[in-house]
Amino acid sequence: MPRRPTEPLCVKGSSQGFNELRNARASRSMHQYSHVDSGVETQRPRLAAGHGEVTESCQQGAKPSGTDGCEANLRGGPPTASPGGLHAMKPIDPYNRWHWIGLLAVLWYSIFGGLFFTLGAPFGRAPVYPTDHNRFFTFWSLVYLNEWLFAALVLVCVRKSRAGFESIGLLRPQLRATIWLAIVLVGLAMAFTAAPQGVRLSLATEAQRQSFAWTHGERVFLLVVACLTAPFCEEVMYRGFLLAFLRSVIGLRLAILLQGLLFGYQHAVLGGWRGGPGAAIFGLLIAPLAIMRGDLRAAMAVHFLVDAAMLAGAVFGP
């Protein structure tokens, strides 16, 4: 039988011929594997019944094929990247005790309003808006301190579980997007201070008018704390942690539906039924964006713009 052209002839008793044969075989084996030590991607050939040879593209240390992070492709085509690249949002372990603590924190915040500890409008309770405008700074400071506290608790649980903030889509913000959002914030602050003082809100309740910003300073304060707190804290809790937890238990579609309903219910608890349906619809629409992008940055930016537009409408509207 003729020898293979890629292998040197091994002469009996010759250590040099044996070493050349071993090196040639090792060289051929190395071509079958493409490995990046940084943990980016590993490709290995395998056989699939009825489909011939395919390649499996997985993140290093990822779960076996068939789970999030691994995609099988026909050899010759580029590996399919999961949405959001290497830091794509993924289901988190539903059996981790820290994840259950985080879930209880989100449920408490959604059902009882967190520190407000109220059943709210769904159970016939009055909204938490104050009837005295002198409580403006106290009320809104408590509202957003409440959000930061429960969002921080969720982040602590994620860190303790060693799931990584990337698993819930929390990544470092992009510089360009941060600059544009800062420009929008400064522009709105200047517009708010140029508008006449007072409150309009002709369609709002008396409690809502009393709790809204009347003076220029109150408007800038509410603009800053609302547009920096709600987009971050609410996206981390609902589109980040809650969505990642629920999709590992009930699947992605039901997880999107349930987190949207809880998001709307939380707004109904604190603000009355008027704010509930709109918040629920927003939660249902923004969740697919976070999933497609693989992180929360786009969802936070949209949330920021929506809250800023609502404040502008309240200031300049009827």
Query: DSSP characters for 225-292?
Result: HHHHHHHHHHIIIIIIIIHHHHHHHH-HHHHHHHHHHHHHHHHHHHH-TTHHHHHHHHHHHHHHHHHH
Most trustworthy range by pLDDT among 19-23, 183-187, 257-261, 275-279: 257-261
So what's the pLDDT on residue 70? 39
So what's the pLDDT on residue 295? 93
- Percent above pLDDT 90 for the chain: 45
Taking residues 262-266, report their average pLDDT. Answer: 94
Tally: H helices and E strands in the chain: 10, 4
Angstrom distances, CA of residue 59 to CA of 43, 56, 62, 141: 9, 10, 5, 43
Rg from Cα positions in the chain: 27
Flag whether the pTM goes above 0.85: no
Three-class secondary structure of residue 174 per DSSP: coil
Residue 258 pLDDT > 70: yes
Q: Tokens for 169?
A: 């889509």
DSSP labels for 187-236? HHHHHHHHSPSS---TTS-HHHHHHS--SHHHHHHHHHHHHHHHHHHHII
Nearest to 88 by CA among 259, 240, 271: 240
Phi then psi for residue 46, to 5 deg, are: -150, 170
Angstrom distances, CA of residue 105 to CA of 102, 110, 116, 287: 5, 9, 14, 20
User: Do residues 249 and 101 make contact, with C-beta atoms less than 8 angstroms apart?
Assistant: no
Task: Please give the distance of CA 62 from its chain centroid, rounded to a whole number.
Answer: 20
pLDDT grade for 300, boundaries at 50, 70 and 90: very high
Q: Tokens for 280?
A: 């629920």
Token pair 């050899």 is found at 75
So what's the pLDDT on residue 273? 81
Q: How far apart are CA 300 and CA 170, in angstroms?
A: 10
User: Do residues 75 and 53 make contact, with C-beta atoms less than 8 angstroms apart?
Assistant: yes
Q: How far apart are CA 166 and CA 146, in angstroms?
A: 24
Q: How far apart are CA 209 and CA 9, in angstroms?
A: 92
pLDDT tens sequence across 62-82 = 444 334 443 333 333 333 334
